[in-house]
Chains A and B, each alone.
Chain A
Amino acid sequence: MNDGLILTLLILAPLLAGAGCWVLRAAAARAVLVPAAGVACLLGAVLLLARGDGSLAAPAGIEAGLRPLAAGLDFALLAGFLWVAWRRKSLWTALFVLPQIPLLAWLETAGPEPYGPLFWADSLTMALVCVVCAVGSLICLWALPYMRRHEEHLQLARSRQPGFFLVLVGFLGVMNLLALAADLSLFYLAFEATTLCSFLLIGHNGDETARKNAVTALWMNSVGGLALLLAAVWAARTAGTLCIPMLAAPGVLGLVPLALICIAGMAKAAQPPFMRWLLGAMVAPTPTSALLHSSTMVKAGVFLVLRFAPAFAGSPVARILALAGGLTFCAAAALALGQSDGKRILAYSTISNLGLMLCCAGLDAPWALPAAALLMVFHAAAKGLLFLCMGTIEQRLATRQLGAQESLAQQLPRTAPLMVLGMLAMVLPPFGMLLGKWLTVEAATGSTALLLLLALGSALTVAYWTRWAGTLLGAEPRTPRRAAAAAADVADSADEDGAAPASGLDPDARRTALDEFWPAPEPQSRLRLGPELALAAATLMLAPLAPWLYALLAGPGAPAPAGWAWLAPVCTLAAVAGLWGAWRALRRDVLAPDPGLYLAGLTPACALDLHAAGEDSAPVAGPRAGYFLRPLNQAVTLDAGLYGLQSRLAEARLEPWAEALGAAALLGLLLGGLL
């Protein structure tokens, strides 16, 4: 009975909540159903964790009827995809969906009877379920004010939010089904259902680019679906069963179906040559990008490969997978360094980190698989936070360009530091991403090529995150004119909840350094800030827990690189000391007079500090003015931009190479399986 409750909470509840959002179209219904779905998911996740490993038994009558129901839904999905292919005249979609129909028909009629449990949970499953429930619920909550503002901005006559939330919330149930499925045909249903969700959400905005990118996502994911179905048919014919725990044991499946499974995972995880669909998916509203395309759906590909990793450990398939993952890690990081659009940087970063996880899955060391799972969990939390903050920034600035985000910490004093925290969580100790990267490098020491790729990729990763974080933290020179403008901006814009804004800066009050970080509240809804803060808190709190998480994922007595035991106390101490130092620094009084910038004699001495002069016409010179006076009293603005690496790391030049190498890796996987 308990198992049935867990399955209902995790799978059925979000699906029903999503359906409820669509049927009852009112915003009030959404405001109740979305948090309810989140609570149900979290409750289910907690019950699952308490229950422990093992198979879950659905109620007796349901299990019998589930397989035919799944088959029916599968055919309906494929029919739907074909209809889309016909409507959009997409040859590629038809090419990859049509072969799936006879294969599925064979599987359902002549395939093996379901043997063993339909649902199963181990530590990897629980990791994915926790990620989906925690990060997913927070993103769905955040999506409520975001979509309201999004539609206000677009001035739509009829709200499209019911359909959006149907898919967004229902997707949580689909992901939980994917994580818990122990039968390969059930897994395939969930896999294709995530493709459908992605297609619907990418095309949500309805304009031509969105629709085109949705179809691209559809056919590229269909390649993955076809590969998975081929592997399932092969497994049914050779091994006579579709039970995943049995198939994932070493020696049961041949190398070719395992290579096909890797290809399916790579297509879902947007590895080269399938990168384009994820880049194109960035046109979707931000909750989609945050939920599907960074935290959960693309992790389904990694989850699939990790699930079957024990079966192909040490084989040529594993070696080629590790190499392909390492190549992606390095190439996508180089591509990210050359981007100036914030969401595209995040997309390439996602692809790069997924490559790192797949590289881990192909390595032979005993700590490689727990390291990949650890990376999965930490990446989901940090990337979710980054996408949410990026969404807020995009709605404020109406642009995603990096250049427009300079000194955002002054304009958005709550969101920008959270975003910087997310970025630092991707590269710094004691956060889990760095520890996972370290474990991967430790596991890869047997291969020179992998060491090279991981070293280069790690350096490129640090470079692009540091550049972006520094841009956000920058400061514009403060002038009285800019301060007045900032105060007026706060006074004019009402809070999203409708509350009155806080008063502007009081120049006579004692200003502490805390005020520099928190000068005036951003006009931002609590429902938007809450999930962002929660994700940031999760990222912070998970950091010192990383060794315990690793032990949970790897099982008791698992080997780890030397020094792992020291890491937790040292990093916790460092983190606590850092937070204490930060708090001390924030409480310190900002000293007057203003120290000013060192301009190496460019500015004449403070005699020209004309702050009292009229602001609107003449520029004001002085150490904090941001101008200096040239001969003939011409004002020159002080400015410093970013190194635009777009020409050197041009996407147009690098991306074809990356895709070509990825396609070569795919061929290599198949050949490695065949030979």
Chain B
Amino acid sequence: MNALGVLLGGLAGLVLAPAAGALAQGLDRRLTARLQRRMGPPLLQPVYDLAKLWGKQPQRSGAWIGLCAWGCLAGSALASMLFFAGQDLLLVMLVQAAGAVFLVLGAMSAPSPYSRTGAQREVMLMLAYEPVLLLVAACLGLGAGGFTAADVLAAPEALLPRLPLAFAALLVALTVKLRKSPFDAAASAHAHQELVRGVYTEYSGPHLALVELAHCFDTALLLGLCGLFWATSWWAMVLLAALALVAEIAVDNACARLTWRAALASAWGAGVVLCVVNLFWLRLG
């Protein structure tokens, strides 16, 4: 990719990606509501929520919450920019973990038992999804012959037929990142949580807007990663991302929450093993 392409991709990752992520979240909430025989909010509700939160007075119950909220946003935004600029997938995964680290640090800095328990659970869930994401990125790179997103995009044929297990593993990691049942022990996407809001409890006002915006970036990044599995045509990418989202919503409404131990065991058991098997299959075939 030339310099102009990188620049445009980075801008798209900075501006368009969170918009797409917010839209995806709005779709998610609408669809979930319809599944639950409710009306559901407008499609742009996440945007309205962000605007409302941003206008509130900042209140800090922990000294480091503000800084960590900004750090969380910076990590997720940087990861998204690097991804859409076509940079190295492994680096993108390592950078997005940085955003998640800041979320946990901010939550632990508040003397609230809900926040701190949620943060501990979030550390365990990070432990659950990080190796899966790294291995999925490695699978994509090995399948496409190059480890940058640009290389995978330029691959001559679709990767999904050769990497079905890696895609399933990515769906597992997506469930954790989107905070869907059964992996929502740390904070739930919807209003059912025994820890108030878990790791997000003490983030309020503009700081909550920042971490929600970071979540929009993460959503866009991961749905984009889903799309990369059929990178030969644009509508196939969008379809794949949409299918992934619908699958997540279905699983969310069907499953109960797992404890963090069970979540760690199943994420590693399913995600890591599926990726390793797929890697072996790639090498043999």
Contacts and interface: CB of A to CB of B under 8 A. Distances in A.
Interface of A: 407, 409, 420, 424, 427-429, 434, 437-438, 441-442, 445, 448, 451-452, 454-456, 458-460, 462-463, 466-467, 469-471, 473-477, 513, 516-517, 561-563, 566-567, 570, 574, 577-578, 581-582, 585, 588, 590-591, 595-600, 626, 638-640, 642-643, 648
Interface stretch (B19-27, B30-38, B46-54, B126-134): B126-134
Nearest to B134: A455
A590 B101 contact: no
B131 A459 contact: yes
B111 A451 contact: no
Contacts of A437: 94
21 contacts: A427-B98, A438-B91, A448-B283, A451-B138, A455-B131, A462-B101, A466-B123, A470-B108, A470-B119, A473-B62, A473-B105, A563-B82, A585-B66, A591-B60, A595-B61, A597-B111, A597-B115, A598-B201, A638-B113, A640-B112, A640-B116
Interface stretch (B140-148, B227-235, B240-248): B140-148
A460 B272 CA distance: 14
Interface stretch (B67-75, B158-166, B175-183, B216-224): B67-75
A413 to B, nearest CB: 10
A434 B97 CA distance: 11
B147 A561 contact: yes
A561 B148 CA distance: 9
A594 to B, nearest CB: 8
Contact of B202 (A429, A434, A442, A598): A598
Contacts of A570: 78, 82
Interface in B167-220: 196, 201-202, 204
Nearest to B62: A475
B63 A577 contact: no
A578 B71 contact: yes
Secondary structure type dominating chain A contacts: helix
B279 interface: yes
Nearest to A571: B78
Given A566-B87, A581-B67, A598-B196, 13 more contacts: A427-B101, A441-B134, A442-B90, A442-B147, A452-B276, A459-B126, A473-B62, A562-B148, A578-B71, A582-B67, A588-B66, A590-B60, A591-B60
Contacts of B59: 591, 595
B63 A409 contact: yes
A526 B243 CA distance: 60
A475 B126 contact: no
B131 A458 contact: yes
A451 B279 contact: yes
A638 B123 contact: no
B88 interface: yes
Nearest to B6: A566
A641 B135 CA distance: 32
A407 B117 CA distance: 15
A418 to B, nearest CB: 14
Contacts of B82: 563, 570
Nearest to A643: B120
Contact of A445 (B63, B117, B127, B142): B142
B153 interface: no
A420 B78 CA distance: 22
Contacts of A427: 97-98, 101
Nearest to A456: B131
Contact of B111 (A407, A455, A458): A407
A424 B6 contact: no
